Structure formats: structure tokens, C-alpha cells
Amino acid sequence: MSEKNLELNLLTSARRAPQPRSAFLSRKTLLEILRQLILYIILIAGALPFLFPLIFMLSTSLKSKGEVLLVPIRWIPSQIIWGNYYEAMFGYLPLYWFMLNTLKVVLGSLVGDVLVCALVGYAFARLRAPGRDILFIIVLSTMMLPGQVVLVPTYILFRYLHLLNSLWSLILPNLLAGGAFFIFLFRQFFQTINPELGDAAKIDGCGLFGVFWRIYLPLSTPVLATVAIFSFFWNWNNFLWPLILIDAQDKFVLAVGLKLFQGAHTTEFPLLMAASVIALLPCLLLFFSAQKYFIQGVVVSGVKG
């Protein structure tokens, strides 16, 4: 081995030889820790203003009524009253019942929003029929009308249908593909799927519905998840329509029921906050468990939930 080669070998070995472990790791680790620390400080500082209402809500939900108005705010109640949650759920108001009603509306609407709107979106995307595009524009134009404008006519319509004071008045419009926005989403997504897949399925003996059910729906997970998540949030938080269409307290949904904790002159703040925490939990759980789809949904639709 020539001297030159030897030198090269030595250099290579030296390069390969591990650095003194502690010195190398400590510097890298320190830098990484510092980076992480700065990142976390920035993130926590940014999150605090958003967490503040949540912390206030949690704190108030555990206070006595007399302690709620004390200034400066007592973040940790002098006496923690877990009973507020029970009282909110089963005592002062039947919140559990409002939750059940909400769940019925949410699930019923979910079926409509996901399946029926998908069917309509599929028709607009892939079927040829006279006046299809004009019909689609008409469907889209319903999105331009603010809900308040059609409030009274819709109320009268539901009265003729004898559906006032019924949870069906909240579910039925969704079951009959009332969500123009969701139809739009489905149509746009289905148009991105190669039609040759459907044609191939037809050659193999699939019918029109089979193509939709076996080809288009399985390929549409992102838009299905998006619609499902938005449908859940919108119907869970829906206030105006249930307020107008439902009079009987035993048919109230959560959003309207929460308002009952607010009296004419006084508000049952601890119970209201406990009820709000309870009402928030399913949304939080859904958000954390379906965070990926939620973010995907924002990207797909361009709107926040």
C-alpha cells in the first residue's frame, strides 16, 4: 500500500471513527432541545389566548353561583362542585334529553348529507340528462340565499306538512339532499375520478347504482369524511332552525337547550358552563380522532368547520 493510499485510508478511517460520543450528542441534543423549547414557547404563547375561554369555562363550571362574579377571577374555585355537571345534565334541565335529540338529528342528517347528497352529486357529475347543468345551477343558487330570508316561508311550509315541533323538520331537509354545498363537493370530487373506471365496471356487469356504490364511493373517502365531519359540526351546533321550528322543550336540541340556562335577569353560569363543557366534548373527541380528515376537509372544501 502506497503512502498516499495509507494516508487516504487513515483519513477515511478518521472520518468514519465515531466522534467522542458525549461531546457530539450533547451539542446536538442541546441545540435540538433549545429549538424545541423555543418552538413550544411560541406555540404555548399562541395557544393561550385560545385556551383562555376553555379554561375559564372549566373553572366556572366547578364554582358555586356566588363565587362566579367575584373579581379578580378565582381560577381555582374555593370549593370544587362536581355536582354542577350532574345538575346540568339531569337536574336543572334534562340536558341528556337534549343531547339525545341532537344525536337523532345529527345521525339522521348524516345519512342524508353523506349518502343522498353523494347520490345527487354523482348524478350531476356522471349522468347525462336534459337540463342537468341548469338544474345544478339552480341547486347552487340556493346557497346564495341567506337562511334568514327563507325562515318564514320554510316555517309556513313545515306547518302545512305538520312537521313543526318535530325533529323530522330538522332531519328531513337533509335526507332529501337539502345540502347544496355537499352536493357541490361530491359533484366536483366525482368529476376528478376517471370515468373509465365506471365504464370498465359496466362492462363487467355493474349497473348505474353499482358503479356509484362499488366504484365511486370507495374512491371518495376524503370527500365522504369531509362531508361527514362538516355535517356533524353543523347539525350539532345548529341553533337558528331548531329555535324557529321546535317549540316543545322535550324536542329541544343542545344549542337551544343551552340557552335555557340563561334566564331573564340572571344566568346559571356554573350550570351553563358545565353544560357547555358537556356539549363540547363530542366535538372535541371527533376533532382529535378525525383531525387528519378535518384538515383534509378544509383543504378539499376551502372552508372551516
Partner 1 sequence: MNAPSKTAKLSRRDFLQLTAIGTVGAVIAACAPPASLSGSGEASAGTAAKKSVFVFECCWNAEHIKAGKELYTKFRSEHATIDVIDFWPAAGEDWTAKLLAKVAAGDQMDIIWWCASHHKFAEEGRLVDLKDLVASDTSFKLEDYQSVGVDFCYDQPKRGGALWGVPTNYATVLLWYNKKMFDAAGVPYPDTKWTYTDLLDAAKQLTKDTNGDGKPDEWGISIPNDSWYYQPVLDAFGGGAVNIDEDQPCKLNQPQSVEALQWLQDLYLKHKVAPTSADMAGLGSQAMLISNKLAMGFWPEWAQFDFLPAHKDTGLEYGVTLLPTGSAGRVTNYWAGITSITTMAKNPEAAWEVTKFIAGDEYQRMMTVTLPESPAALIKTTDFRFKEYDKYPEDRSALIESPKYGRQYFVVARYGKELGDIVTPGLDPVWEGKTAPAAVVDDICAKVDAKAAELKAKKGSSGMGICRPCTA
Amino acid at 71: V
Applying CB under 8 A, which part among 43-51, 134-142, 158-166, 178-186 lies near partner 1? 158-166
Q: Please pick, from the candidates 155, 213, 234, 287, the single residue that binds partner 1 as defined by CB under 8 A.
A: 155
Is position 128 an interface residue for partner 1 (rule: CB under 8 A)? yes
Residues 6+ apart with CB under 8 A from 301: 185, 226, 230
Phi, psi angle pair for 248, to nearest 5°: -75, 135
Per CB under 8 A, contacts with partner 1 among 129-148 are 129
Told to check if 244 binds partner 1 by CB under 8 A, we report yes
Please report whether residue 260 would count as binding partner 1 according to CB under 8 A: yes
Q: Per rule CB under 8 A, is residue 263 in the interface with partner 1?
A: yes
Compute the distance between CA of residue 277 and CA of residue 299 in angstroms, rounded to an integer: 28
Least Å from the CB of residue 256 to partner 1: 6
Does 127 bind partner 1 (CB under 8 A)? Our answer is: yes
Does 237 bind partner 1 (CB under 8 A)? Our answer is no
Tell which one of 85, 168, 216, 236 touches partner 1 (CB under 8 A). Answer: 168
Q: How far is the CB of 46 from partner 1 (least distance, A)?
A: 23
Nearest to 89 by CA among 277, 286, 234: 277
Q: How far is the CB of 271 from partner 1 (least distance, A)?
A: 9
Residue whose C-alpha cell is 383534509: 296
- Shortest separation between residue 12's beta carbon and partner 1, angstroms: 59
